[in-house]
Structure 1
Amino acid sequence: MAADLQKWIAEFESEWADKPIEYLHEPGDWREDSDPLFSSISSAIQDRNYEISIDELLKISQWKMQGSRNDDNIKGNAEKDVDVEKQCQHALTEVEGKESIEALTDLSGIGVPMASTVLTVAKPEEYAIIDYRAFRGLAAALPEIVDSRDYSEYAEFLEHFRNYLTNAEAYEYYIEHVREIAEQEDLSARQVDMALWAFDKEKS
Structure 2
Amino acid sequence: MELELQFSSDELSSWADRYGYATPEENARAAATGRKLEEQGYPTLDQLARICEWKTPRSRSHVQKNSDFFAREVTRSCVTSDSERFRIEVLTLLDGVAWPTASVILHFGHPDPYPIIDYRALWSLRVDEPSRYTFDLWSPYVQACRALSKKSGLSMREVDQALWQYSKEKQES
* TM-fit CA distance, 1:112: 0.4
Matched, 1:5 2:12: yes
Measure how far apart 1:82 and its partner are.
Answer: 5.3
SS of the aligned residue for 1:126 comes to coil
Q: Could you tell me the TM-score, scaled by structure 2's length?
A: 0.83
Query: Using the alignment, how far apart are the partners of 2:79 and 2:110 within structure 1?
Result: 8
Q: Report the equivalent of 2:52.
A: 61
Asked if the contact 1:43–1:122 (Cα under 8 Å) also holds between the matched residues in 2, the reply is yes
In the alignment, which residue of structure 1 is the partner of 2:105?
A: 118
Structure with the larger strand share? 1
Retained in 1: the 8 A contact 2:146–2:156?
yes
Could you list the runs of 5+ residues in structure 2 that have no partner in the other structure?
Answer: 1-7
Separation (CA, whole Å) in 2 of partners of 1:18 and 1:87: 29
1:1-204 to 2 correspondence within 5 Å?
1-12=8-19, 16-18=22-24, 20=26, 33-34=28-29, 38=31, 40-48=32-40, 50-65=41-56, 67=57, 69-78=58-67, 83-123=70-110, 126-139=113-126, 157=127, 161-163=129-131, 165-204=132-171
The number of equivalent residue pairs is 164
Residue equivalent to 2:5: none
Does the 8 Å CA contact 2:114/2:156 hold for their aligned counterparts? yes
How large is the Cα RMSD of the aligned pairs? Answer: 2.2
> What displacement does 1:125 show?
5.7
Deviation by residue 1:99-125 (Cα, 9 ceiling, x = unmatched): 211110111111000000000111376
Q: Give the TM-score taking structure 1 as reference length.
A: 0.71
Contact 1:42 1:124 in 2 (8 A): no
Give CA-to-partner distance per residue, 1:16-45, whole Å, 9 cap, x none: 334515xxxxxxxxxxx35x8x2x334322
